[in-house]
Amino acid sequence: MHGPALSGWLLMALCGATGAYCLLRARDGTERERRSARAEALMGFGMAAMAVPAALLTLPGWTWVVYAVVFGAASLRAVARAGDGGHHLHHLVGSLAMVYMALAMAPGSSHAAGGGHAGHGAGTAGGVPVLTGVLLMYYALYVLRSAGRLIPAPLPVGIPVGGGAPTGVGPGGRPELALACRLAMGTAMFAMLLTL
């Protein structure tokens, strides 16, 4: 991720907080919901680590290989779970996007060209513009869709307001918080890709 250090700090805080909330969600719900929350926590913490400003911590060059391996394994896991439906295809796209960014920002890669990285000083520009554009379009649509799902629908006549809390999604059964986390991570991924 390239750009000013302030954006790195903000992304690091947003993604770290989102990852922590996803870990809390991983304690409740069905096994499928817990798996999804764990995958989202990995994504949140991985994005937070990738956004750490170089002024705070300069990591060795091999760190990008570790990112690629961890998120490559997460991609394989998402492929294995894709038949279960649900959110696994989005997890696959996110994991592959993280592998792509790690490889594009790795020192010595054909796309990294020394200096200026807001995250860890890996390079000034990277990635394949067409692939970056496709991922940007995907995340823009994902963010718009997620934001639309957060807008409350009008209640039908005769249904009392607040009559029965939904259950099964995270602490307190608040599915809108899980959607808000996904919206935050989608927005952060869009910002990270935008600066690639």
What number of CA atoms fall less than 13 Å from residue 88's CA on the CB side?
17
Per residue in 101-131, pLDDT (tens digit) is: 999 888 776 544 443 344 444 444 567 899 9
Residue 100 above 80 pLDDT?
A: yes
Residue 2 above 90 pLDDT?
A: no
* Range with lowest mean pLDDT among 54-63, 72-81, 113-122: 113-122
Q: What angle do helix axes 175-194 and 31-50 make, rounded to 10 degrees?
A: 30
Per residue in 163-194, pLDDT (tens digit) is: 444 444 445 457 788 889 999 999 999 999 99
- Residue 86 has a pLDDT of 62
